[in-house]
Amino acid sequence: MQETSESTEWVLGIDVGGTGSRAALEPAATTSHEADGGARRALDGPPVSITPSGSTALGVVGSLIERARAEWPEARISAVGIGATGLASLVSSPAASLAALREAAGAPVALAIDAVTAHLGALGGRAGAVVAVGTGSIAIGTDLRDVWRRVGGWGHLYDDRGSGAWIGIEGLKAAIQTHDGVTTDAAALLSAAESRFGPAPDWPAQLYTRHDRGSVLAGFAADVAGLASVGDDVSTGIMAEAGALVAATLATALDPALPDPKLAAGTGGVFAAGGAFTSAFEREFARLAPDASLVPAAGGPLDGAVHLARLAATGEVPAGHPPYLWR
Q: What distance in Å separates the CA atoms of residue 327 and residue 246, rounded to the nearest whole number? A: 30
Q: What distance in Å separates the CA atoms of residue 120 and residue 112, rounded to the nearest whole number? A: 11
pLDDT on residue 4: 45
β strands within 134-198, DSSP E: 137-142, 148-152
126-297 has the same fold as 9-124+299-326: yes
- Mark out the alpha helices in 13-83 (DSSP H runs): 32-35, 57-71
What's the distance, Cα to Cα, between the start and end of the chain in Å? Answer: 30
pLDDT on residue 7: 59
Q: What distance in Å separates the CA atoms of residue 60 and residue 49, rounded to the nearest whole number? A: 9
* Model pLDDT for residues 300-310, shown as the tens digit of each residue: 999 999 999 99
Give the closest residue to 30 by CA, choosing from 327, 320, 303, 324.
Answer: 303
Residue ranges of the chain whose pLDDT lies below 70: 1-7, 30-38
Fold (topology level) of 126-297: Nucleotidyltransferase; domain 5 (3.30.420)
pLDDT on residue 39: 84
DSSP states along 184-247: SS-HHHHHHHHHHH-SGGGHHHHHTT-TTHHHHHHHHHHHHHHHHHTT-HHHHHHHHHHHHHHH
Every domain of the chain and the residues it spans:
9-124+299-326, 126-297
pLDDT on residue 52: 80
pLDDT on residue 33: 41
* Model pLDDT for residues 148-177, shown as the tens digit of each residue: 999 999 999 999 999 999 999 999 999 999
**Is-contact 192 172, C-beta < 8 A?**
no
The secondary structure element, H or E, covering residue 164 is helix 164-180
pLDDT on residue 6: 56
The secondary structure element, H or E, covering residue 101 is helix 98-105
Where residue 132 falls (left for φ over 0; alpha for ψ -120 to 50; beta otherwise) is beta
pLDDT on residue 3: 45
**Is-contact 257 267, C-beta < 8 A?**
no
Q: What distance in Å separates the CA atoms of residue 250 and residue 245, rounded to the nearest whole number? A: 9
3-state secondary structure of 115: helix
Fold (topology level) of 9-124+299-326: Nucleotidyltransferase; domain 5 (3.30.420)
pTM given for the model: 0.91
